[in-house]
Amino acid sequence: MITDTELRLKGIRALAQSLGDIEAERFIALIQREPFDYTQWRQDKWEDLSIDEISRRAMVLRERGAEQAAGADGADAAAQP
């Protein structure tokens, strides 16, 4: 388990990488400004999906992440002398 500080830093980096610095700042401001019930959102998000469909989608995302990581490793290796 990582510390709260490490989690914040990783989260901010992920937001900035995904959205860009300015949009990440806007996102953080929105979350702080507007009430948001994460638990309710999670319960509603997949309300109409079966466990099998949720699992299938998770496996697809996992495979995509593995493919992207493999591609990044290849790029890193190619950049080294």
Give Cα separations from 9 to 16, 18, 50, 58, 63 (angstroms): 10, 14, 34, 25, 25
Kindly give the confidence (pLDDT) of every residue in the chain, 81 residues in length, as a single tens digit, with 9 standing for 90 and above.
899 999 999 999 999 999 999 999 999 998 888 787 878 888 888 888 898 998 999 899 889 888 887 876 665 555 554
Q: For position 73, what pLDDT does the model report?
A: 62
Residues 6+ apart with CB under 8 A from 15: 24, 27, 28
Q: What is the pTM of this model?
A: 0.45
